């Protein structure tokens, strides 16, 4: 049996490995999906949608050092779902994303810096986990987390604090690349979203 659904809500994100720690980048996730019901408890889902990701420093803490990376993606997800037949659905899966819009803003005036946009990676793979709580058979709230498996930026170079390009291994810029072996391998999106989900049931 197949069923469809729509899901949309807010997302907060950060980039693991940059120097702007904290889920401050606010965005929106909107998806449509279809479920294939193998049994009453186990489903497969395919989703298509739009996801807003990125990273942002604390403007009120130091406006002159403000930095904001915006990366919006068209995303396709394949999910495996366990439904307890009461109110809870558990999800795990993988997502593929294609970059459709990007920007980098810096400073007190949040000036957009265009020259460096070509360092954003065009594609992203991620792992996904989440849970949906159904307060009615057709209506629910979905809490989801996502972690990228792909570097959010091109291999080199990286940004420095002044919006210029800096070599890989630079530790005095927006990124902690070079400060540890783990972080030399890349910078990865992390996101948490809360969505309203409507299921098209008979």
CATH code: domain of residue 136: 2.40.160.20
**Exposure string for 100-116, b = 16+ CB within 10 A, e = fewer:** eebebbbeeeeeebeeb
Q: Dihedral sign, CA of 44, 47, 52, 54?
A: positive
pLDDT score recorded for residue 162: 40
pTM: 0.83
- Count of structural domains within the chain: 1
pLDDT tops 50 at residue 70: yes
pLDDT at residue 128, as a whole number: 98
Instruction: Look at residues 59, 48, 55, 67 and name the one whose alpha carbon lies nearest to residue 23.
Output: 55
pLDDT tier at 113 (50, 70, 90 boundaries)?
confident
Q: Which of 98-102, 108-112, 168-172 has the least mean pLDDT? A: 168-172
Q: Please check whether residue 11 is in contact with residue 24, taking contact to mean a CB–CB distance below 8 angstroms.
A: no
Arithmetic mean of pLDDT, 146-157: 79
- Judged against a pLDDT cut of 70, whether residue 172 lies above it is answered with no
DSSP 121: -
The token duo for 39 is 């049994």
Quick check: 176 pLDDT over 50? no
Identify the pLDDT of residue 77.
98
Q: What is the pLDDT of residues 29-58, one digit of tens each?
A: 999 999 999 999 999 999 999 999 988 877
Summary mean pLDDT of the chain: 83
Do residues 161 and 116 lie in contact, with contact meaning Cβ atoms separated by under 8 Å?
Answer: no
Cα(103)–Cα(76) distance, integer angstroms: 22
- Residue 23 predicted with pLDDT over 90: no
**pLDDT for the residue 187:** 80
Domain, as residue range, for 100: 2-200
Which one, of 118, 147, 126, 109, lies nearest residue 17 by Cα? Answer: 147
Candidates 65, 174, 152, 149; CA nearest to 102 is 152
């Amino acid at each position: 049996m197949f069923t469809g659904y729509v899901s949309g809500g807010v997302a907060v994100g950060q980039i693991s490995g940059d120097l702007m720690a904290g889920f401050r980048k606010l965005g929106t996730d909107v998806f449509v999906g279809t479920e294939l019901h193998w049994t009453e408890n186990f489903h497969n889902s395919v989703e298509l949608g739009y996801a807003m990701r990125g990273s942002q420093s604390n403007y009120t803490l130091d406006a002159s050092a403000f930095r904001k990376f915006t990366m919006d993606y068209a995303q396709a997800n394949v999910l495996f779902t366990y439904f307890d037949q009461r109110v809870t659905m558990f999800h795990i899966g993988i997502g593929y994303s294609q970059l459709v819009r990007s920007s980098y803003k810096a400073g007190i005036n949040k000036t957009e810096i265009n020259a460096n946009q070509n360092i954003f990676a065009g594609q992203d793979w991620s792992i996904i986990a989440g849970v949906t709580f159904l307060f009615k058979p057709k209506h629910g709230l979905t809490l989801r987390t996502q972690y990228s498996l792909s570097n959010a930026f091109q291999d080199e170079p990286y940004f420095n604090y002044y919006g210029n390009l800096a070599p890989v291994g630079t530790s005095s810029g927006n990124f902690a690349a070079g400060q540890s072996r783990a972080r030399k391998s890349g910078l990865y999106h992390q996101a948490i979203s809360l969505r309203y989900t409507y299921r098209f049931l008979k």
